[in-house]
């Protein structure tokens, strides 16, 4: 048996994870639970301190697990990147944002790779998990790793495996979400698949790194395009005077050839608004026009403005001008029941409402404060106890902890952008 295979199966393989955020920490915990000595590499001192103290800063990761694994010595974290040399596998889980020009920002990948280059040794397995455009692993990471003379596929092993973290998902986590793996060579794929296979229920090998990179972009471009289509349908239904939610529910009764998507005030999070642009950018470099991606982006990015237009119309119909109206937004995070506000369309709605000179507040039990354009805004603590003071209550992110029946009963006007009031009756309810 190959010595690397043997060490992986016998849990003698030390795993290092660069980036201990929403992707890195859950993955590190899963490897540690599987019996692998796992070390997180971070530039954020606070995260390192928390892990050493057995504290979880990610809602989906139980604090008890971090405490137990840290006590057993299976989970550690460090600011010292020179310790990468002691790792047998290094998995990169750093952010990949977009620049203002919508071009990929791979600076975090480059920084992480530079640290790995300084400490690269023979036999190491390097895996990139950060979402990026097809070709990144082969065209960017591989040449950097080979600059000191070691050759990928021969002296060390290189693969890509897209992260599939879904914050707040109670059903699917790291362990039971299938893991796609594509290596630079068949041996690279084999070793990466073997490593993940020790802690994840199902591993799906693909033929190369580019295919693995494209898998993640396909998944989220699929969602972005379909959400855009249903957002456009919502605009159509508004013009037609129809209830888009009723139409969707009826269509969803078809047991084949259809799957429901739902409209909203925009799309948010660290994947769906960004990932299609990675694919679109790559295709433009190949002189290919990604028309679906660009159209979907245009429709989805216009939804916050449509939301504000609807609120304006409703207030005007009630004899209220937007200027000086009191508006309460419910929910500021990008999806229900999580604390993450990244790329949340609620931020765009908030800014647009402020521009109308309305008096805007928000209530979010998960996000007690939100930073927007360099300024911090706080959730109004007792907003739900004083609903009559608002001219309009706009449900933007429907957290399940909120009593929507009571909200409808005690509000003058409710604009529901997420169908949170489904099944409730009231002349004051108006939906997207």
3-class secondary-structure state, position 378: strand
Q: How far apart are CA 194 and CA 174, in angstroms?
A: 16
Note whether 31 and 47 are within 8 A (CB). no
Q: How far apart are CA 414 and CA 407, in angstroms?
A: 8
Note whether 96 and 131 are within 8 A (CB). yes
Residues 6+ apart with CB under 8 A from 243: 237, 431
Q: How far apart are CA 97 and CA 275, in angstroms?
A: 9
Distances (CA, A) of 186 to 157, 191, 208: 10, 9, 8
**Burial level of 169, CB count in 10 A (0-12/13-18/19+)?**
middle
Residues 6+ apart with CB under 8 A from 405: 424
Q: What is the DSSP letter of 377?
A: E
* CA-based torsion, 151, 156, 160, 166: positive or negative: negative
Is 392 annotated as catalytic?
A: no
- The label of the residue with tokens 């290596």 reads 183
Catalytic residue of the set 188, 237, 271, 392: 271
The set of catalytic residues is: 271
């Amino acid at each position: 048996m190959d010595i690397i295979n043997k060490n992986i199966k016998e849990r003698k393989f030390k795993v290092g994870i660069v980036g201990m955020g929403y992707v890195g920490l859950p993955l590190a915990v899963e490897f540690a639970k599987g019996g692998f000595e796992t070390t997180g590499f971070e530039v954020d001192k606070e995260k390192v301190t928390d892990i050493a103290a057995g504290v979880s800063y990610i809602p989906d990761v139980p604090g008890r697990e971090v405490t137990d694994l840290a006590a057993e010595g299976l989970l550690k974290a460090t600011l010292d990147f020179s310790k990468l040399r002691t790792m047998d596998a290094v998995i990169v889980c750093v952010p990949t944002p977009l620049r203002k020009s919508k071009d990929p920002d791979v600076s975090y990948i480059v920084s992480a790779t530079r640290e790995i280059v300084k400490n690269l040794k023979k036999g190491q397995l390097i895996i990139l998990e950060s979402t990026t455009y097809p070709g990144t692993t082969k065209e960017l990471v591989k040449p950097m790793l080979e600059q000191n003379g070691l050759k990928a596929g021969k002296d060390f092993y290189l693969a890509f495996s897209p992260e599939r973290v879904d914050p707040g998902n109670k059903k699917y986590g790291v362990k039971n979400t299938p893991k796609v793996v594509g290596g630079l060579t068949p041996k690279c794929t084999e070793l990466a698949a073997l490593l993940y296979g020790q802690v994840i229920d199902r591993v799906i090998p693909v033929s190369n790194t580019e295919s693995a990179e494209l898998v993640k972009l396909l998944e989220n471009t699929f969602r972005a395009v379909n959400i855009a289509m249903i957002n456009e349908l919502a605009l159509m239904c508004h013009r037609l005077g129809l209830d888009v939610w009723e139409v969707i529910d009826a269509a969803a009764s078809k047991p084949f050839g259809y799957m429901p998507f739902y409209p909203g005030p925009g799309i948010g999070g660290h994947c769906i608004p960004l990932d299609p642009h990675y694919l679109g950018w790559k295709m433009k470099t190949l002189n290919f026009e990604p028309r679906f991606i660009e159209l979907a982006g245009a429709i989805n990015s216009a939804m916050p403005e449509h939301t504000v237009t609807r609120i304006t119309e409703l207030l005007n119909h009630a004899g209220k001008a937007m200027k000086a109206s009191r508006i309460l937004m419910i929910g500021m995070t990008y999806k229900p029941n999580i604390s993450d506000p990244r790329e949340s369309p609620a931020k765009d709605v908030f800014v647009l409402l402020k521009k109308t000179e309305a008096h805007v507040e928000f209530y979010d039990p998960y996000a007690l404060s939100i930073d927007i354009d360099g300024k911090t805004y706080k959730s109004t603590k007792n907003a739900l106890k004083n609903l009559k003071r608002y001219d309009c209550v706009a449900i933007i992110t429907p957290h399940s902890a909120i009593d929507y029946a009571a909200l409808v009963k005690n509000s003058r006007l409710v604009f529901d952008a997420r169908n949170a009031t489904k099944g409730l009756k009231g002349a004051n309810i108006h939906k997207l």
